Structure 1
Amino acid sequence: MYPSLLDALSATLLDGEPQTENPRHRALLDTYTDVQALDRQLAEWTERAPSDDDADELDQIVDLLVERMAAGAVLRRLLSAGCCCADTRDGACREDPDASSCPGNEADPQSIVQAALYVFGCVGSPEALPSVDLVSCLREIPGKPEGRWNYAELTPVRLARLMSPHGIAPRNVTYRDGGRFKSYRMADLLAAEAGRQNTQGS
């Protein structure tokens, strides 16, 4: 697993102080590592001698291929999605020099729905965003949404749990490139936020 102990030691000696790991970069590295490991397993299958249980072997190969394609799709999404909100030394969002507008600002805590809408705005306000991409961007925001997990600790499952009380759930969405992913729709987020504002105004 990167970085190794030697890498950490050299970074400390050269930089003078430990650097905070970027969650998005970690997700990219981990996913790429998974893709390489699956490629090695597929290569090993091609070098094996045929077995007597062809049906069972075929099922294993198919499962491995499906897993490899899914990992490749996640990697492509991570590589193509624009970086949105990220920590800086002063805790402000890079896209917004005004730290008060960042969803993770402790002086003005926002709901997970508002944070998700912020991310949608950062990436061009698409109709839908795959859960893995939304999580990747949310993890770059400082703070703790809904008082549960830090943004940096979010996973698709945790995000779904945070969204559930707001009446929002990920849906299967097919994109122009043919990919089909569990995604969050902007319309659902806007409807939930409008309902919250109406409740507060009444």
Structure 2
Amino acid sequence: MSQIRDRVPDVNDAEVAAADGSGPDGWEARLPGRLAELRVERDWSLDELARRTGVSRSTLSRLERAEISPTAALLGKLCSAYEKTMSQLLAEVESESPQLVRSGQQLVWRDEASGFTRRSVSPPQRGLRGEVMEGVLQPGADIPYDRPPVPGQEQHVWVLEGILQLTIDGDVHQLRNGDVLRFRLWGRSRFRNPSTKPVRYVVVIVQQ
């Protein structure tokens, strides 16, 4: 299984991350071109995109030229700028997902450095408003997000195993087996595992 590091890139960011689909015909090979298309569609310069994301111009340029692969944090910042969920962005460079999504077809990101695994269980599909993601955080894992891709986005977080400390717009919630937190996300969020065992949870996203 490939890995992807989840951290905030800076001006000197030369780190490379990879994920499933990184072969010559996989989604990762097509992602840089799609990111460049999205910027051009909005008539944004690299400087403008850097201003909107807080990511250096040089990092964005290297990403669009496929010289580096995006970290999870960088991809999250781009998704926020383009008002797309990560699953929506990846779906744009994948063939359309079938009605029945087999386990082996579900895209998995694994960030062993921060202890985070993300599985796109039910990716976006034309005509459907919902998507489902499964997350696993190892003990001590702490994943912050600056903002949602779409302000006011509706999410439902359901803990299957373990303890999840979830901070939504400054409010801290401790969720245990079977607990569900439902909310609309306007600002920062943070997923943290404060326990000594992994936590497994499901995130259901409902598009507006």
Q: Which has the larger radius of gyration?
A: 1
Higher relative contact order (CA 8 A, sep 6+): 2
Q: TM-score, normalised on structure 2?
A: 0.27
Higher strand share: 2
